[in-house]
Structure 1
Amino acid sequence: MTTTVHTVVDSPCGLLTLVGRDNAISGLYMTDQRHRPAQERFGPRDDAMPVFAEAAAQLTAYFAGDRTGFDLDLAMDGTPFQVRVWAALREIPYGETVSYGELAEAIGRPGASRAVGLANGKNPIGIIVPCHRVIGANGSMTGYGGGLDRKRWLLALEGASMQPMLG
């Protein structure tokens, strides 16, 4: 039987709740995040899971500007379409942005930008799976589960262009 546990780490984005099972990260949630599951779904607090220490170290390096990606075991639960979108998010390079339409094309579903947006919004592992790198086709700051101020801050940290890549 798989046990889900969580820990809480501090960050420049506020407190982050890391959720894990089988020594893999299954969630990263910010305070007041949209689509944040109920606290009881995170399981008991257990700061000893090894992947939590590694995730905290990688997040600290990321926030310090010393890390541009994450190398962690992830356990993401979603529909096959959501999982495909979340995998594509991990392919967006640090410091770059794409539009929802570009992301839809990248997964072979041109015209599915609205569905891609919905899947993006349900990403259970924010920051590590960089849904903040998806912006409107015109460069607009579209919704972000952690709030637009956090999205702007994360993109500024990465030195990201506010124009989506072309091609």
Structure 2
Amino acid sequence: MNHSTFAWCVTDSPIGPLLLAATPAGLAQVAFHTDREAAPPLLERLAARLGARPEEQAADPSPGAGAVLAEAVRQLEEYFAGRRRIFELPLDWSLCTGFNRRVLRELDATVPFGAVAGYGELAERVGEPGASQAVGRAMGANPLPVVVACHRVVESDGGLGGFGGGLETKRRLLALEGVLPEPLF
């Protein structure tokens, strides 16, 4: 794979199909509820933003973006099976910049598995007290959900807040991490 392409694949998960995209720099995108049939519009937007052509690829253990995909699939399977708490993947942060990148990096570095943080708390941590709504927008624009765990950000009153993958998905991820009880049905 050269730098004019990025690798992508779709993997099944307990929260539905996930589209993963990787560049030689690392995992660049995790998209909820995106199977192969729903992938083309997302891939077109990614191609424009990354300046590269999408190349569907089976997870490939050889070096490069395919190896990143293979490792991401493996680690996501472990996470959903309850055997992984920390993702150890190279991440390509090129799809987010500025404030959003600062907030997502802070989230990734300081809010571990099984913990939550408030929108306002994250705003303070990045030196922008009062920017809780901007933190919410950063969570909504997170190109790497699950791996960069925006589901761990909640409202100060204990409410779930929003979530790009849907509130039921957020509930299921928080239950998996022991923050919320498992749904009864």
TM-score, length-scaled by structure 1:
0.89
* Gapped regions of structure 2 (runs ≥ 5): 35-40, 47-53, 61-65
Aligned residues: 158
The aligned counterpart of 1:88 is: 106
> CA-atom RMSD, angstroms?
1.6
* Gapped regions of structure 1 (runs ≥ 5): 163-167
Question: Counterparts in 2 of 1:46-125, with a 5 A limit?
Answer: 46-47=57-58, 48=60, 49-76=66-93, 77-90=95-108, 91-125=110-144
3-state SS of 1:25 partner: strand
4+ long deviations beyond 4 Å: none
The aligned counterpart of 1:26 is: 28
- Take 1:16 and 1:72, find their aligned partners in 2: how far apart are those partners? 16
- On the 8 A contact 1:26/1:74 being kept in 2, the answer is yes
- On the 8 A contact 1:23/1:50 being kept in 2, the answer is no
- Take 2:27 and 2:84, find their aligned partners in 1: how far apart are those partners? 18
- Take 1:121 and 1:134, find their aligned partners in 2: how far apart are those partners? 11
- On the 8 A contact 1:3/1:22 being kept in 2, the answer is no
Of 145-154 and 42-51, deviating more is 42-51
The aligned counterpart of 2:145 is: 126
- Take 1:23 and 1:113, find their aligned partners in 2: how far apart are those partners? 30
- Take 2:31 and 2:15, find their aligned partners in 1: how far apart are those partners? 11
- Take 1:161 and 1:11, find their aligned partners in 2: how far apart are those partners? 19
3-state SS of 1:84 partner: helix
The aligned counterpart of 1:44 is: 55
3-state SS of 1:44 partner: strand
How far is 1:46 from its partner? 1.3
Q: Which entry has the higher C-alpha Rg, 1 or 2?
A: 2
- Take 2:140 and 2:160, find their aligned partners in 1: how far apart are those partners? 13
Higher relative contact order (CA 8 A, sep 6+): 1
The aligned counterpart of 2:49 is: none
Of 44-53 and 115-124, deviating more is 44-53
